[in-house]
Amino acid sequence: MSRKPYLRKMPKSWWLAQRRYTSYMAREMSCVFIGAYSVLIVLGLYRLSQGRAEYGAFLDALQSPPSLVFHAAALVFALIHTVSWFSLAPKAMPLQIGEKKLSGGPVVLAHYAVWVVVSAGVLLVARI
Amino acid sequence: MTEPTLQVEILRYRPETDQDPAFQTYTVPYRDDWVVLDALNHIKDNIDRTLSYRWSCHMAVCGSCGMMINGEPKLSCHAFLRDYYPNKIRVEPLNNFPIERDLVTVTDDFMEKLESVKPYVIPKQERAVDEGPHLQTPAQLNTFKQYTMCINCLLCYAACPQYGLTPDFVGPAALALAHRYNLDTRDAGREQRQEIAASNEGVWDCTFVGECSQVCPKSVDPAAAIQQTKIASTIDWYKALLNPWGKR
């Protein structure tokens, strides 16, 4: 008897089928906002290079309602990205002492600690 | 007193008559110690002998009875009716694999990929029997023991959207087994496995959805194996870049 295997196509809405897929896509989407924010910072540097008045205009533009909405969205997606990656970090960095496998807690905590230290460093440099 | 019952909706596909698969609903007795596989066996034995599905051990060891149960890849011997009752249960063949018949899928693609990563110990040198066994400490064993638990049930492939979207992807179970042998102190075959594991279709097609590890019934954690292989392959790449004359 001849075979006739049937391949079901993956629906385009697969990422809505389950909450975990949707949160994965939110993590993937975060790169759009982080990329756009990086472009904004480069633009700011460019305006700074043009002079004080141009940079002032750039800073004023950042106060506009669309810009504030974009910043809020970028912040939310940056947090989604950071928290989800930090929670996944132990998978890439298994800890074992002797025979015993350790839990991923210390790896996650170390990531948050480095985040705090680096953020504090950036703030310190910004104040100088 | 009437016996409680439960409805089971099964995706049927009979290649000799059906153009497309379609759901068929059966009513089965509800027992709180029954799993979905018991319900399927009841249907096969008492209602419809034409229903096809794979199973063997009924105790989450053989890895044959993986199915989509209410949209989630699960071993049907591991999915209790009591977790769904009184709602209807929808049973489909595993996602991302062609359907051979009813709940039976075509798994040839996985078998070829599994073979391609050489999932066996490749010793540096053959050892004569009188030289004794390859010794390994419990600590050495524990670095890879979890990956030895894989039963090839393919729930991870059904859960992986990357495998669904990019069928060339070697996939979670095969890559976890490659990692398992790479970590084994008795093995010297990593370089051979890296040809597949470190290729685009290997670990680099994985975007770390992580769903493979969520659905794994044996806590193998293939996502961890893949991320660790990515790191090791990246280190290899930098070593080769910094020291092109060195041994890889």
Both B134 and B58 in one domain: the answer is no
A79 touches chain B (CB under 8 A): no
Supply the CATH number for residue B67's domain. Answer: 3.10.20.30
Gyration radius (Cα) of chain A, Å: 22
Q: Which of B15, B142, B209 sits opposite A4 (nearest CB)?
A: B15
Point out which residues pair with A101 in neighbouring strands: A96
| Contacts of the segment A39-43: beta carbons below 8 A, 24+ positions apart | none
Question: Does B227 sit within 8 Å of A17, measured CB to CB?
Answer: no
A residues 21-40 lying closer than 8 A (beta carbon) to B: 21, 24, 28
Question: Does B13 sit within 8 Å of A6, measured CB to CB?
Answer: yes
- The sign of the torsion formed by the CA atoms of B74, B75, B78, B79 equals positive
Residue of A nearest to B142 (CA): A99
Q: Distance (Å, rounded) from C-alpha B216 to C-alpha B72?
A: 11
Q: Which residues of B touch A94 (CB under 8 A)?
A: 224, 228
Q: What is the mean pLDDT of residues B160-167?
A: 96
Domain boundary among B47, B76, B105: B105
A17 touches chain B (CB under 8 A): yes
Judge whether residue A112 has pLDDT over 80.
yes
pLDDT at residue B246, as a whole number: 74
Question: Does A1 sit within 8 Å of B221, measured CB to CB?
Answer: no
B140 domain residue, yes or no: yes
Of A64, A66, A65, A77, nearest in space to A38 by CA: A77
Query: What tokens were used for B103?
Result: 């709940």
Supply the CATH number for residue A52's domain. Answer: 1.20.1300.10
Residue of A nearest to B14 (CA): A4
Q: Which residues of B touch A4 (CB under 8 A)?
A: 15-16
Judge whether residue A29 has pLDDT over 80.
yes
| Contacts of the segment B25-28: beta carbons below 8 A, 24+ positions apart | B25/B88
User: In chain A, what percentage of residues exceed pLDDT 90?
Assistant: 87
Both B70 and B150 in one domain: the answer is no
Point out which residues pair with B11 in neighbouring strands: B23
Looking at per-residue pLDDT, the higher value among B62 and B246 belongs to: B62
Both B77 and B62 in one domain: the answer is yes
Both B10 and B132 in one domain: the answer is no
Beta A96-97 vs A100-101: how paired, if at all? antiparallel
With vertex at residue B39, the alpha carbon angle to CA B34 and CA B45, rounded to the nearest 5 degrees, is: 125
Residue of B nearest to A14 (CA): B161
What is the value of pTM for the model shown? 0.91
The lowest-confidence range among B72-76, B108-112, B123-127, B145-149 is B123-127
Both B91 and B113 in one domain: the answer is no
A5 touches chain B (CB under 8 A): yes
Of B14, B8, B95, nearest in space to B52 by CA: B14
Per-residue pLDDT tens over the stretch B51-96: 999 999 999 999 999 999 999 999 999 999 999 999 999 999 999 9
Evaluate whether B226 touches B173 at the Cβ level (below 8 Å).
Answer: no
Question: Does A91 sit within 8 Å of B227, measured CB to CB?
Answer: yes
User: In chain B, what percentage of residues exceed pLDDT 90?
Assistant: 92
Provide ipTM, 2 decimals: 0.84
Both A98 and A74 in one domain: the answer is no
Probe site for chain B from A9, A22, A81, A91 (most B CB atoms < 10 A): A91
B247 domain residue, yes or no: no
